[in-house]
Every structure is written in structure tokens, then in C-alpha cells.
């Protein structure tokens, strides 16, 4: 039977058609925020630009950026473009640095969101009728509810488990036999360990597809998950300020980066220092502008995520390369810029080491010292095997990244687990 490989025809439209749609939607959004959001009007006025200065897509670069600081300054509801009572839902990000950032959705936004998630899941190989186990957190975090509405929209049977209670996750997978699981990659590893602890071969489950995201993870981590469960694992990307999950997704047929749903979110890559727009193919900070959001459109929102824009493959929409890391997670060790994902890649090259790790940063006099805590694989019980793994990891990191690190191989289960995003970096540098 013929099966089309896209959910919405726009995913495979011509670049010309996509460009025309983007320009028209951008023009409307600029006018809307200028008319309805005083904070944007002020920013545009200060920068000396008006919505009428936008004629072609390249003109967007004249408009000012929005950052997390703008959301904080306008906390809680100051960036909404509609009266509060027109909003159907509010979400917020956890705000590790204090105040949470608040986002609002109209009924139409919830509908758009369900649609982009349905598209996202479809591109990951999920089909109507499949049973979908959602282990992303429900609540103010956008992962659980965002995915939930989209999976329902696609016509799946949804099991809204949320994160945590790992024993129950495993029991529900055994009893309900889901085809698909949605979770952060680090939490999926926690679930994997629970299968192993119960003596159940993870390959024997009903699962066929994992859709993972909400944190950085490497291709090496994908291999680990795919081989352990015998499934496909696809990457999905998004952020609350832009909509939540559903901004970009891998296509299962190519798994070569994430197609951005460019008819709703206009991407740019900028130099994080100068703010200059970089050409496609160059690495820099991702910036998104809303094209269809009603409740809280964002203009040139700086994500702090580092990636690059690439041409479409499985779809005509452009791809973003798998996120390398966040600018705020970048460590500068003796002048070398290092991201946790680079370290993860090297850990997974060492057969005695598990993918559970944490990076501790300390200051020794004027120098930054990196200590890696990595768990041994349960089968690596022998001290000499562990010592050999530590030596191997130090050598890999020295040769490929160019920095010296200390490595501490811990017993399995010693490093903290999270039911959501893993905390990879523990920065102890400000402490004595
Ligand atoms: O994490 C939304 C989401 C939920 C995405 C479920 C995917 C799946 P926030 O809590 O606002 O929203 O965090 C957004 O998480 O700026 C990235 O730094 C990171 N992130 C999200 N997806 C990925 C990914 C949700 N696939 C922040 N790869 C973003 C790497 C990701 N980092």
C-alpha cells in the first residue's frame, strides 16, 4: 500500500513556496507585536525600526533580538499579545537561575502545537493507532502535555505516564505493550537500567521507536539506546519560549539532523558574540522568530543553543544540525572550549564505561580543573578493568579534545539520576 512519508504537504513544498509563506507571516507577526506588545514596540522604536521596514526575509536582521532577560523583565504576562483571558493555557520553564519564564497559548496556538507535534511524531515513524507511552514530565514543563496533544492529534492511543516512578514505567511497558516511548535520552537510560535490574532483555519489549529530546545527546548515545532496546531513536527539539517540543524533528528515513518546521518558526544562525547573521552551514547560535503564534509571539529569540542550518533532505524544510550544546554549558578549560556532548562521545568509546556521567568543574589557583565522574558498566567489576577504562578515557579526551581531565570511575548507580533533564555539569568554581 502506498504510504506518504509526510504529514502536511507543506513539508515537501518548494523552497519558493515556503519563502513566500514565511515573508507574509513574518510581516503579519511584526505588525501584530508592534501593535499589541508595548515591550516590543519600545524595543523596535529604540532600534529605529518599524514593521514597514520589513520587505524581504533578509530585512529581519534589522530588528532587535529577544532574550531570556526580556522574558524576565516582563514577568509574568508582559509579552502576551492578547488579553490574558484569551489564553487557553500557560506553561513555564523551571528557571534554574531564579524566576521561571512564562509562556501563553491561545486555543489556536494549542491547535498549531498539536499539529506540529503530530507532524514531528509522524516524521519519527509514529503512525495512527500506535500506543504511545509518554514519559516526559507533565505540568508546567511543555514536554508532557505538548507531546500528549500531538500524539492524540495523530490518532495514537496515549498513555500519559509522566516522568519518574521508574519501576512503574517498566511495568506499564510490559503490560500495555507500547510501540513508542517519549522521554529525555538520559531518563530512557534509567528505564533501560531498570529492565536490566529486573533481568528482562530490553530488546524483548514491544517498543519500536523512541522519540527523545529536551537535552543534548550525541549520536553515540543514540547508538547506545538503539542497540540496547533494538529500536529506532529519533531526536526532537524545541523550547518553551518558541512553543515547546515540536520546533524541529528528525525524519526516521534519514536521521541526519532535525527538520525545522519553517512554516511556523523562522530560523537564523548568528555569531553569539557579534550578533551578526551567519550564512547557512556555519556554526553559531540558533535564533527563532514566530510566524503563527498568537498568544506570545517571539521576535528573533536567542536560544543559546549552538547548531548550524543545513539544506533539507527528507523534507524541503531546512535542517538544524544536532545541537552541540548551549552557550551557557560551554566550559573553557585552559583556553579550549569544551561541551559536555564532546565528553559524552569519548566516554561511549570506552567499553567499560556507562553513559551515566557528571562533569565537575573546580578552580585550582587560577586554573580550571575538570573532574569526570563516570559509572562503570555493571559487568566491569574488576578494579584493573576500571583503571584501564579511566586511563583510556583520559587519553581519548587528551587526543581528541586537547585537554587533561581527572577521571573517577564510580560504581553503577552512584551518579544522580533525573526523571527529566540530566544535570551534566556541576560548577564548583565560585565556591572555595
Ligand atoms: O525542553 C521542550 C522539549 C520537550 C523539547 C520535550 C523536546 C522534547 P525547555 O524546557 O524550555 O523546553 O528547554 C529548552 O532544552 O533551548 C535546548 O537547550 C534543550 N533542548 C531541547 N531539545 C533538545 C534536543 C523543552 N533535541 C532547551 N537536543 C533548549 C539538544 C535540546 N537540546
Q: Is 13 in the pocket of ligand 1 (CB under 6 A)?
A: no
CA–CA separation, 352 and 282 (whole Å): 36
Q: Where are the alpha helices (DSSP H) in 212-347?
A: 219-229, 340-347
CA of 239 to the centre of ligand 1 (A): 5
Write down the pLDDT at residue 127: 97
Write down the pLDDT at residue 373: 97
Half-sphere exposure of 358 (CA within 13 A, CB side): 16
CA–CA separation, 215 and 196 (whole Å): 24
Q: Is 143 in the pocket of ligand 1 (CB under 6 A)?
A: yes
Q: Is the model's pTM score more than 0.85?
A: yes
CA of 208 to the centre of ligand 1 (A): 23
DSSP annotation of 412:
T
Using most ligand atoms within 8 A of CB, pick from 91, 135, 237 the residue to mutate for ligand 1: 237
CA of 274 to the centre of ligand 1 (A): 24
Q: Is 236 in the pocket of ligand 1 (CB under 6 A)?
A: yes
CA of 114 to the centre of ligand 1 (A): 17
Write down the pLDDT at residue 396: 97
CA distances, 179 to each of 3, 206, 221, 330 (Å): 19, 6, 21, 36
Half-sphere exposure of 300 (CA within 13 A, CB side): 20
The three cell numbers of residue 270 are 548568528
Q: Which residue has a Cα nearest atom 1 of ligand 1?
A: 214
DSSP annotation of 58:
G
User: Can you tell me whether residue 183 is helix, strand or coil?
Assistant: strand
Using most ligand atoms within 8 A of CB, pick from 238, 272, 307 the residue to mutate for ligand 1: 238
Q: Is 216 in the pocket of ligand 1 (CB under 6 A)?
A: yes
Write down the pLDDT at residue 1: 45
Q: Is 239 in the pocket of ligand 1 (CB under 6 A)?
A: yes
Write down the pLDDT at residue 96: 62
Q: Per residue of the chain (432 residues), give pLDDT as tens.
A: 457 789 999 999 999 999 999 999 999 999 999 999 999 999 999 999 999 999 999 999 999 999 999 999 999 999 999 999 999 999 998 766 678 899 999 999 999 999 999 999 999 999 999 999 999 999 999 999 999 999 999 999 999 999 999 999 999 999 999 999 999 999 999 999 999 999 999 999 999 999 999 999 999 999 999 999 999 999 999 999 999 999 999 999 999 999 999 999 999 999 999 999 999 999 999 999 999 999 999 999 999 999 999 999 999 999 999 999 999 888 888 889 999 999 999 999 999 999 999 999 998 888 888 999 999 999 988 999 999 999 999 999 999 999 999 999 999 999 999 999 999 999 898 755
The three cell numbers of residue 27 are 510581516
Using most ligand atoms within 8 A of CB, pick from 123, 214, 285 the residue to mutate for ligand 1: 214
The three cell numbers of residue 314 are 527528507
CA of 124 to the centre of ligand 1 (A): 17
User: Can you tell me whether residue 79 is helix, strand or coil?
Assistant: coil
Q: Is 339 in the pocket of ligand 1 (CB under 6 A)?
A: no
Amino acid at each position: 500500500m502506498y504510504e506518504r512519508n509526510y504529514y502536511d504537504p507543506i513539508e515537501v513544498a518548494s523552497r519558493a513556496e515556503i519563502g513566500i509563506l514565511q515573508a507574509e507571516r513574518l510581516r503579519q507577526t511584526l505588525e501584530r507585536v508592534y501593535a499589541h506588545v508595548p515591550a516590543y514596540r519600545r524595543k523596535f522604536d529604540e532600534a529605529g525600526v518599524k514593521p514597514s521596514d520589513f520587505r524581504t526575509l533578509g530585512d529581519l536582521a534589522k530588528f532587535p533580538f529577544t532574550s531570556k532577560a526580556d522574558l524576565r523583565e516582563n514577568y509574568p504576562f508582559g509579552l502576551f499579545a492578547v488579553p490574558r483571558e484569551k489564553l487557553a493555557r500557560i506553561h513555564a520553564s523551571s528557571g534554574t537561575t531564579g524566576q521561571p519564564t512564562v509562556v501563553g497559548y491561545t486555543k489556536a496556538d494549542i491547535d498549531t502545537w498539536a499539529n506540529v507535534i503530530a507532524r514531528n511524531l509522524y516524521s519519527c515513524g509514529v503512525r495512527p493507532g500506535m500506543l504511545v507511552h509518554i514519559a516526559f514530565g507533565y505540568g508546567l514543563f511543555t514536554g508532557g502535555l505538548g507531546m500528549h496533544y500531538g500524539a492524540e492529534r495523530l490518532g495514537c492511543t496515549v498513555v500519559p505516564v509522566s516522568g519518574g516512578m521508574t519501576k512503574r514505567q517498566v511495568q506499564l511497558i510490559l503490560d500495555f505493550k507500547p510501540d513508542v516511548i517519549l522521554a529525555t535520552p538520559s531518563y530512557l537510560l534509567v528505564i533501560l537500567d531498570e529492565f536490566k535490574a529486573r533481568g528482562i532483555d530490553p530488546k524483548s519489549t514491544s517498543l519500536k521507536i523512541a522519540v527523545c529530546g529536551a537535552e543534548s545527546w550525541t549520536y553515540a548515545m543514540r547508538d547506545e539506546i538503539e542497540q540496547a532496546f533494538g529500536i529506532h531513536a529519533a531526536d526532537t527539539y524545541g523550547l518553551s519560549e518558541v512553543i515547546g517540543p515540536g520546533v524541529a524533528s528528525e525524519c526516521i528515513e534519514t536521521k541526519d539532523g532535525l527538520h525545522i518546521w519553517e512554516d511556523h518558526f523562522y530560523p537564523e544562525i548568528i555569531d553569539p558574540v557579534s550578533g551578526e547573521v551567519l550564512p547557512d552551514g556555519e556554526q553559531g547560535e540558533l535564533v527563532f522568530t514566530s510566524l503563527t503564534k498568537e498568544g506570545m509571539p517571539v521576535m528573533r529569540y536567542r536560544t543559546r543553543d549552538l547548531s548550524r542550518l543545513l539544506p533539507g533532505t527528507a523534507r524541503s524544510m531546512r535542517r538544524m544540525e544536532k545541537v552541540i550544546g548551549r552557550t551557557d554549558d560551554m566550559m573553557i578549560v585552559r583556553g579550549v572550549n569544551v561541551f559536555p556532548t564532546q565528553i559524552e562521545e569519548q566516554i561511549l568509546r570506552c567499553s567499560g564505561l556507562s553513559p551515566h556521567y557528571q562533569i565537575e568543574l573546580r578552580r585550582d589557583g587560577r586554573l580550571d580543573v575538570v573532574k569526570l565522574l563516570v559509572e562503570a558498566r555493571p559487568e566491569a567489576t574488576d578494579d584493573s578493568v576500571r583503571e584501564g577504562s579511566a586511563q583510556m578515557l583520559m587519553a581519548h579526551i587528551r587526543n581528541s579534545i586537547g585537554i587533561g581531565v581527572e577521571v573517577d570511575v564510580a560504581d553503577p548507580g552512584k551518579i544522580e539520576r533525573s526523571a527529566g533533564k540530566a544535570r551534566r555539569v556541576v560548577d564548583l568554581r565560585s565556591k572555595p
